[in-house]
Structure 1
Amino acid sequence: KGAIPNLPHVPQIAQIKLSYKAHQIVDYRGKGADAFTTRTAQLFQVWPFGQREIWPIAAVDTPGIIPVERRLLPHFEVIGAGGVSQSAEGSLFIGLKGLDLSASSKNLTLLMQVAEGSADPELPVQPVVWSYLLADVWHDFSSDEILADGTNGLLRSGIIKLVLPREMTHDNQILPANMHWLRASVVRNTGAVCELIALHTQVVSATFVDRSNDPAHLSTPLAADSIAKLRERQAAVKKVSQPYASSGGRMQEPDGEFNVRVSERLRHKGRAITLWDYERLVLQEFPEIYKVKCINHADRQREHVTGNVRVVVVPDLRNRNAVDPLRPRASLDTLDQIEKHLAAVASDFIAIHVTNPEYEAIRAQFQVRFHDGYDQGYYLRQLVTDIQDFLSPWRHDEAADISFGGRIHRSKVLLFVEQREYVDFVTEFRIDQQLAGSWCLDVEEAVAGHAGVVLTSAEAGEYQIGVAVNSCEDSEPLAEVVAEPPQVVAVGPRFVGNTRSRELHDLNNFTPMCHLEMIAADHRRRFFTIADARGLDYDLCAHCFGRDRSRR
């Protein structure tokens, strides 16, 4: 009797996949108002933090929580100026938990701690629209429901006080449930508001009351966490905390400053009439401003504009960490506050524009040889730093003045370089000036474009400095330590014409004498070729193309 053979191999499933496709076509065009109750398919909008059902047909029996919506993708809209609905470029959503609005409306205080100065000062101030969520629909707060805004539109840290209506719902679908939701939106240019650091609720402000204290203590802010309890205990308050240092303190005015202020007050009488009045009123009210330049008949872009006044301000760099020491700029909040202050004391027929200076950079390109014993790598960097300090003295000397307008000759910069104790000689020296975003190469003299311009140094990476040969005995020149970057040229159409004077300029070869900044935006026309401009009877600029090619 033979042995029983082994059972045959039984395969085991290692992996199994199942897939299917299904689709349904629903034509809502033929449905009536009563189709909602008999619907077989549901439409959902997917939001970043939730979803909601929508129905594309207005129906009397549609529950209020299901909105009538014909768009499949969600739209983030706010009611802008003039009651027009606009898409929001950026929004901040704030969820409130444990809020009881069943009995009545309640006031809410929010501390918005922002990185002050992080807003782009070159952008216009943007309004912040506050809204609350009701049945998955956003409703804007009315002006009566925003009791206070100490942030000036999220331009500085401060307290916002809102009246929360009792109609707010907490069982929404587009955002997590069991929370009441607020929204702060900006329609455009979100860079015009500061970056948010932290947000706190249940906030009050405390003000210092002098009780014969040492006046010198106001010179430094009160450190964070210095206040930990109430002076008089209250049973309803469980805990008190001070998460940030105090602000807004100022020492008593010295006698010398008092005499100056009174003398200036007797002259301008609290009214902005002359250029001197504008400048002194700003310096008196805003101690963080170091210098003011008032330009009459000028707006933000143009000069010779009747009925406009441009006020250019430079912040005080002492005891401050400037974001860009080569181009110091006041914050957008400071500019807005100055504009409001001047508008209250100036004529109603004057349009006031408060701006930062326009900075035009200067860079140097040359070959240099150092004395024996000086390390080339170290002193190349030191030379760039010294030139930057020479062109922008306020960067290292807090007492140095920042001058508007002005000019600087190439020979003056060359003399400064040659007088460095570690420099042996310099060859192939030239300076370039940045105008309208492009470099004007090898200028004899750098001249400010208009009265609101400050000449400053370029960034260290823009300098092009090489090491020159020492003598004819050198077998080959030393390699440049700083490689020369490609020449900066205009992007897009190369030529720009003045429609009023019919003169054509070359953006890759213009000079300060062209005064491109004086051409109004509505008088500029761009061309890709000279032939296109010639066909419209444009003449060539003598400074850009040479006098032999110009009819002027």
Structure 2
Amino acid sequence: MPCTEKNILQREGTSNLNRVLQALSASYAQPDERDTADLLLFAQRYAAYLNYYKPDNTPDGNWEALMKMDISVTLAVLIKTDIRAIADYKKLLYKKISLAETEADVKKDFRFLFDCIFTLVKIIDDQYKLIPGDLDFSTTFKNVITLKMQSAFLNLFKLFNDFKSNGWIDNISPALDSDAPFVVFNANDFDITALSADWGTPPVDPIITLPSFPVVKDNIVHIINHNIFNAQIDILWKGISEIITAAAQLFEQTLNSFPAHTPHYALFISFIKLFRHAQDQLNIYTKRHLDFYYKDTLLLANKPAVPDAAHIVFGLQKNIVKHLVKKDTLFKGGKDSTGKEITYALTDDIVVNTATVNSIQSQQIHPVSGDLIASLVAASEDGQGSDIKAVDKSWFTFGDINKSKIAQPGFAIASNLLFLKEGARTIIIAVRFSEKLEGLTPNLKTPFHWFKGRLTAEKGWHEIPGIDLFLAGTSGSVNTFLFRLRLSPDDPPVIPYAESVHKENFAAGLPVVQCILQQDADNNLPYQFIAGKKIQSVTLSVTVNGVKDLALSNDTGTLDAAKPFKPFGDFPDNAASFYIGSKEIFQKELNWIDFNTEWEIKNGPGETQPSLSNARYLRQSNWNTSYPVSTLNRLSFAVPGSFIKAKPDFTANEILNANTKEGFLRLQLQSSAYSLFSHMTKIQSQLNSITLTENDNKVTFSTGEQPPVPAEIFLNNFSIDYAATATISFTDSDSVNNHLFYHITPFGFAEVHPRLISTDNNTEPGEKITLLKNTVHSGELFIGLDNAAPNLVINILFQVADGSSNPLKNPEQLKWFYLSGQNNWKSFDKKFIIDYTKNFTQSGIVTITLPDDINADITLFKKGFFYIKTAADANCDAVCKMIMIQAQAARVTLLQDETKQIEFRETRPASSIAKLVNSDAAIKTISQPFDSFEGRIKETDDHFYTRVSERLRHKQRAITIWDYEHIILEAFPQIFKTRCLNHSGFYFKGAAEVFCENYPGHVTIITIPDQKNKTNINPLRPYTPIGLLQNINDYLITIISPFVKLHVKNPAFEEIQVDFKVKFHDNLDESFYIQLLNDEIEKFLCPWAYDSQAEISFGGKIRKSAILNFIEERTYVDYVTCFKMNQVISRNGSVHTEEKKDIEVAEGSTSRSLLVSYYDEQTGVKHIIQSPATCDC
């Protein structure tokens, strides 16, 4: 048989409703089951056999008249009239008539019907006559007869005579029916005149036309199927039922508070009440028999009460750092339901300390998009601090993927290269990955804007909305990200980080750039795609155009570049110096420097700019490094390290002085044409050219050319362009570095460098040298502890919302870590964690011993607190929602005392336990934040009989299907129903889990939880929490064959969705009635979700016609068209992965399937109802 076929053994399973064997109940079959009315009627009948003797000792009748004259007897006769048995008897007679083979049998059975009717009327009338007229019941009795029963009875009497006249009634045989529910007489002997006058006289005209078939049976069958005939009988039955109901109420009154009893009957009633004690003793015979066998012979006993437990939280007095509270310390629990003082005892020693839970944060990788979502305040509705809307105040442990804010992970670089005060600035960050990035294509033309930038500015962080990102690589593969950030001259200066301004806890001293992944951008880069990729190097390059904030001077003093100036001074000699200083420029690893000059040479030697010698850089107070200046006014430092940078200094520029050691460049004039000597030489030459000429006694003075003017060198405008580069090495072990790489997380940051990565064996696995911090777990919950210390033992209460985990996921094994120095997460040693929550599937205490290397000097979170985290590798929703996380918790249990009859009777509400029996000065507060749990009352005898009966059958070994189901229901009261499927199990096909119903050696258990008092169970899909499923599995493993492969699973809920158009009656609110109709269809398909007495059924069938008929019967529905029924077998969210459309009959596709009403939690869609109906079909 293939896996796709159903198990041939189709059963309903066992529930708490059908588990109990009724025969084990002590009241199931009692030796004397007579009640008071039965005893009164017995006495009446028995009196008929007792002779009454006159004074002369001669018989004179019997005692019957004496014993039936009391009102209680009369009422007893009425209430013991079983109208249901009479109605069933009527159905039996109708069946006999229909199946009768002879005319005589038909007539006789037809007469039996009237035997019953007339005898019943006679009984009612006899009791009516005995009712005292002064009772209100007499008036009620009369009104029922005259207003309700009279007409029907008289019509039936008239019909009887008509039937008799036609020969349809047997008037020959005197036989009476032994199947009648009471003693009847022959209807032919009925005398209507003997009845009370209130019954009236028969009508003259018949109420129905008598048939005239040739065969008598056909006529009688026609009569018994006639609506009018049956209506008369039903009216009569209803009247009698009304009388019986009223009589039952009065009967109890007459037994307890009726003063008109005759003395002898009052004495008899007293005897009957006393007789009840003897009767009760007799009726416990069944119980005594069971007790003898189970308790005396087998020496079994009722299970004692199981004490309840509670979690309490301690608070210490001031100045108390640690305090021991010993095991068995007693706490006051108030009074129980019987008024007795109860106490609770501490289950284990606890050293209370001052540690508290200061912060709770979480992050999770979205299972579909791969985005990182973060909750800065985990205990809130949206993860950002809003009020929780859930009634139980629960919140998603790892964050709500639908409400939590998308995180802003990124990276940051702190470097002196980023000290960029002015000009047009371009920052290039080249990130080279160790491996090719599959799925990306090189693109150096069109930038992506997956990241946004932030730079440290004077007034805070300067935002850059979209960073240009280019993809570089070789051979069609990407291995490098090129980030380009541009700043215009109008953008603010980039300055070193200052905590008072930027407030993000970076170490002060270096400018910082942050690149933040924009996860909410269109066509974004998925966080999960890039986070785990190892990077090889990060190269930071800056290019700046137009630096004017310079310290300029020459041999004669400082220079003001705000106006044209003489860089070499007046009459500069050869080797005259022009000094250029800039703390921004010369502390960087320069690639080149360009001098933007606007030379103006006046009266010079004909050159457009002066000749300059090699530039020299001041290093350790010596001008010992020479750099040639190109014709393009560029200094090039092509050889890495050829320029020896100055120490980082972010203060204002200073003028060169005798104490200056570095940070200046010297340009020297390579010409003497501008010197004073050159100018004086020109003057001398001019003087030498002067001549005196005498002519006609006149002397003429001739100078030749004009007097020489000094040659001057001016710079009308001067600025510097430069480029610098630095590579962040992840192999350099030097701890002193001006270029730092950081991971930006939703809660802080961490410097990234191999020297900071712990090499301990318990360090959290995963690649550390990455562009974005690698989140190796699907979900992480971070807990910040205040007032803690290494080696401290902390007991933390994790209160979860029971049943709130995703029951379709497999249990998740949580991992625990602590944050050590250098922001390294390290796993706890197993001996340091004691988890009573079973991976957050139930409320409990986790005892944590903080390791000696836990560190509060961290940057990933708020500094000064110790952080621990618990992480889920895959299924974040496989853990329950959280309600509270609180430190200094302990567990106490009820102290039961058999001698004082103190035992568990009821759950103790929150805040019941708040005081010690013997006060302790060190303890300031004791609180019980939640109700107690785990308590079970003492086993009742009925449950004891059931348990022992089952135990004797399965012998605490799960072998048969019956064994599995009954063992589970006994061991786990949280389960309402279970079904065992033999030769069925699950196997993996790829990542999918497949259910196979032909799998020898495998057994599958399907469970349905008890929904009473459960707030986290979806009534339409009652899933069992995975923690409970695991508990069931662990329990059964110990009592089954080692060769059995066990699977404990939830049902497969297959949904029924109807699609139709409807026309409501006129003047009805369509939107309201569409919603009402949706709800009513849901109740029709899932009655057990609304009625605790309705039982949920596995498999089953639902016919389209049944749903259609139900809809058409709604009073507000006019008509329905285009009706279709679809069966959704499986779906992923709103996407139906497997379904059957427009079917006539829906049937569960597997033996573990349950048919339920359709409801999409994401969209709120139930059934598809359109109104008004506009189609033509």
Per the normalisation by structure 2, the TM-score is 0.35
User: Secondary structure at 1:412's aligned position in 2?
Assistant: helix
State the AA in 1 paired with 2:1058. A
Structural RMSD (CA): 3.2
Instruction: Tell me, yes or no, if the aligned pair for 1:322 and 1:328 is still in contact at 8 Å.
Output: no
State the AA in 2 paired with 1:137. N
User: Secondary structure at 2:1141's aligned position in 1?
Assistant: strand
User: Which has the larger share of helix?
Assistant: 2
The answer to whether 1:266 aligns with 2:949 is no
Task: Decide which of 725, 739, 756 is 1:41's aligned counterpart.
Answer: 739
The answer to whether 1:141 aligns with 2:820 is no
- What CA distance in whole angstroms lies between the structure 1 residues aligned with 2:1140 and 2:795? 53
The aligned counterpart of 2:1125 is 431
Tell which structure's C-alpha radius of gyration is larger. 2
The answer to whether 1:74 aligns with 2:763 is no
The aligned counterpart of 1:186 is 872
The aligned counterpart of 1:81 is none
The answer to whether 1:19 aligns with 2:504 is no
The aligned counterpart of 2:1091 is 397
The aligned counterpart of 1:232 is 918
From the superposition, tell whether residues 171 and 320 of structure 1 become closer, same or farther in structure 2 (CA, over 3 Å): closer
The aligned counterpart of 1:416 is 1110
User: Structure 2: which 5+ residue stretches go unaligned?
Assistant: 1-488, 495-541, 544-723, 758-766, 987-993
Task: Decide which of 424, 440, 444 is 2:1140's aligned counterpart.
Answer: 440
| Deviation string, structure 1 residues 1-40 (Cα, Å, up to 9, x no partner) | xxxxxxxxxxxxxx985436575322648x766xx16644
The aligned counterpart of 1:302 is 995
Instruction: Tell me, yes or no, if the aligned pair for 2:904 and 2:936 is still in contact at 8 Å.
Output: no
- What CA distance in whole angstroms lies between the structure 2 residues aligned with 1:111 and 1:395? 33
The aligned counterpart of 2:1048 is 354
User: Secondary structure at 2:1027's aligned position in 1?
Assistant: helix
User: Secondary structure at 2:938's aligned position in 1?
Assistant: coil
User: Secondary structure at 2:925's aligned position in 1?
Assistant: coil
The aligned counterpart of 1:328 is 1022
From the superposition, tell whether residues 357 and 214 of structure 1 become closer, same or farther in structure 2 (CA, over 3 Å): farther
The answer to whether 1:452 aligns with 2:1152 is yes
The aligned counterpart of 2:1081 is 387
User: Secondary structure at 2:784's aligned position in 1?
Assistant: strand
| Deviation string, structure 1 residues 99-129 (Cα, Å, up to 9, x no partner) | 244xxx3321110112222211111111111
| Deviation string, structure 1 residues 486-535 (Cα, Å, up to 9, x no partner) | xxxxxxxxxxxxxxxxxxxxxxxxxxxxxxxxxxxxxxxxxxxxxxxxxx
User: Secondary structure at 1:151's aligned position in 2?
Assistant: coil
Instruction: Tell me, yes or no, if the aligned pair for 1:468 and 1:478 is still in contact at 8 Å.
Output: no
Instruction: Tell me, yes or no, if the aligned pair for 1:121 and 1:332 is still in contact at 8 Å.
Output: yes
User: Structure 1: which 5+ residue stretches go unaligned?
Assistant: 1-14, 60-67, 77-86, 470-476, 480-552
- What CA distance in whole angstroms lies between the structure 1 residues aligned with 2:1103 and 2:1175? 29
Instruction: Tell me, yes or no, if the aligned pair for 2:984 and 2:1004 is still in contact at 8 Å.
Output: yes
CA positional deviation for 1:44: 3.5
From the superposition, tell whether residues 424 and 206 of structure 1 become closer, same or farther in structure 2 (CA, over 3 Å): same
CA positional deviation for 1:164: 2.1
From the superposition, tell whether residues 54 and 284 of structure 1 become closer, same or farther in structure 2 (CA, over 3 Å): same
| Deviation string, structure 1 residues 231-286 (Cα, Å, up to 9, x no partner) | 11123322111111111222222211110011111111112111111111111111
From the superposition, tell whether residues 365 and 215 of structure 1 become closer, same or farther in structure 2 (CA, over 3 Å): farther
- What CA distance in whole angstroms lies between the structure 2 residues aligned with 1:173 and 1:371? 68
From the superposition, tell whether residues 441 and 215 of structure 1 become closer, same or farther in structure 2 (CA, over 3 Å): farther
Task: Decide which of 956, 979, 991 is 1:293's aligned counterpart.
Answer: 979
- What CA distance in whole angstroms lies between the structure 2 residues aligned with 1:322 and 1:47? 33
From the superposition, tell whether residues 337 and 32 of structure 1 become closer, same or farther in structure 2 (CA, over 3 Å): closer
User: Secondary structure at 1:252's aligned position in 2?
Assistant: coil
User: Secondary structure at 1:206's aligned position in 2?
Assistant: strand
From the superposition, tell whether residues 401 and 70 of structure 1 become closer, same or farther in structure 2 (CA, over 3 Å): closer
CA positional deviation for 1:410: 2.0
The answer to whether 1:159 aligns with 2:845 is yes
- What CA distance in whole angstroms lies between the structure 1 residues aligned with 2:859 and 2:851? 19
The answer to whether 1:92 aligns with 2:798 is no
- What CA distance in whole angstroms lies between the structure 2 residues aligned with 1:91 and 1:294? 37
From the superposition, tell whether residues 231 and 406 of structure 1 become closer, same or farther in structure 2 (CA, over 3 Å): same
State the AA in 1 paired with 2:1030. D
Instruction: Tell me, yes or no, if the aligned pair for 2:896 and 2:904 is still in contact at 8 Å.
Output: no
From the superposition, tell whether residues 256 and 24 of structure 1 become closer, same or farther in structure 2 (CA, over 3 Å): same
Q: Does 46-55 or 112-121 show the bigger shift?
A: 46-55
The aligned counterpart of 2:855 is 169
The aligned counterpart of 2:749 is 51
- What CA distance in whole angstroms lies between the structure 2 residues aligned with 1:266 and 1:248? 27
Instruction: Tell me, yes or no, if the aligned pair for 1:225 and 1:243 is still in contact at 8 Å.
Output: yes
Instruction: Tell me, yes or no, if the aligned pair for 2:803 and 2:1016 is still in contact at 8 Å.
Output: no
The aligned counterpart of 2:1006 is 312
The aligned counterpart of 2:472 is none
From the superposition, tell whether residues 417 and 55 of structure 1 become closer, same or farther in structure 2 (CA, over 3 Å): closer
From the superposition, tell whether residues 402 and 194 of structure 1 become closer, same or farther in structure 2 (CA, over 3 Å): same
CA positional deviation for 1:403: 0.8
From the superposition, tell whether residues 39 and 294 of structure 1 become closer, same or farther in structure 2 (CA, over 3 Å): same
From the superposition, tell whether residues 69 and 414 of structure 1 become closer, same or farther in structure 2 (CA, over 3 Å): closer
User: Secondary structure at 1:340's aligned position in 2?
Assistant: helix
| Deviation string, structure 1 residues 190-212 (Cα, Å, up to 9, x no partner) | 11112222211111111012246
From the superposition, tell whether residues 465 and 181 of structure 1 become closer, same or farther in structure 2 (CA, over 3 Å): closer
User: Secondary structure at 1:43's aligned position in 2?
Assistant: strand
Q: Does 49-58 or 273-282 show the bigger shift?
A: 49-58
Instruction: Tell me, yes or no, if the aligned pair for 1:427 and 1:468 is still in contact at 8 Å.
Output: no
CA positional deviation for 1:159: 0.4
- What CA distance in whole angstroms lies between the structure 2 residues aligned with 1:156 and 1:207? 17
User: Secondary structure at 2:1038's aligned position in 1?
Assistant: helix
- What CA distance in whole angstroms lies between the structure 2 residues aligned with 1:352 and 1:310? 6
Instruction: Tell me, yes or no, if the aligned pair for 1:215 and 1:251 is still in contact at 8 Å.
Output: no
The answer to whether 1:279 aligns with 2:965 is yes
Instruction: Tell me, yes or no, if the aligned pair for 2:805 and 2:878 is still in contact at 8 Å.
Output: yes
- What CA distance in whole angstroms lies between the structure 1 residues aligned with 2:739 and 2:769? 15
User: Secondary structure at 1:267's aligned position in 2?
Assistant: helix
Instruction: Tell me, yes or no, if the aligned pair for 2:1053 and 2:1129 is still in contact at 8 Å.
Output: no
The aligned counterpart of 1:364 is 1058
User: Secondary structure at 1:403's aligned position in 2?
Assistant: coil
- What CA distance in whole angstroms lies between the structure 1 residues aligned with 2:1145 and 2:902? 51
Percentage of identical aligned residues: 33
| Deviation string, structure 1 residues 339-382 (Cα, Å, up to 9, x no partner) | 11112222222222211111111122334445678665544433
Instruction: Tell me, yes or no, if the aligned pair for 2:1102 and 2:1146 is still in contact at 8 Å.
Output: yes
Per the normalisation by structure 1, the TM-score is 0.71
Task: Decide which of 881, 885, 889 is 1:199's aligned counterpart.
Answer: 885
Q: How does 1:503-518 map to 2 (within 5 A)?
A: none
Instruction: Tell me, yes or no, if the aligned pair for 1:467 and 1:478 is still in contact at 8 Å.
Output: no
Instruction: Tell me, yes or no, if the aligned pair for 2:961 and 2:981 is still in contact at 8 Å.
Output: yes
From the superposition, tell whether residues 97 and 446 of structure 1 become closer, same or farther in structure 2 (CA, over 3 Å): same
User: Secondary structure at 1:42's aligned position in 2?
Assistant: strand
State the AA in 1 paired with 2:1151. A
Instruction: Tell me, yes or no, if the aligned pair for 2:789 and 2:850 is still in contact at 8 Å.
Output: no
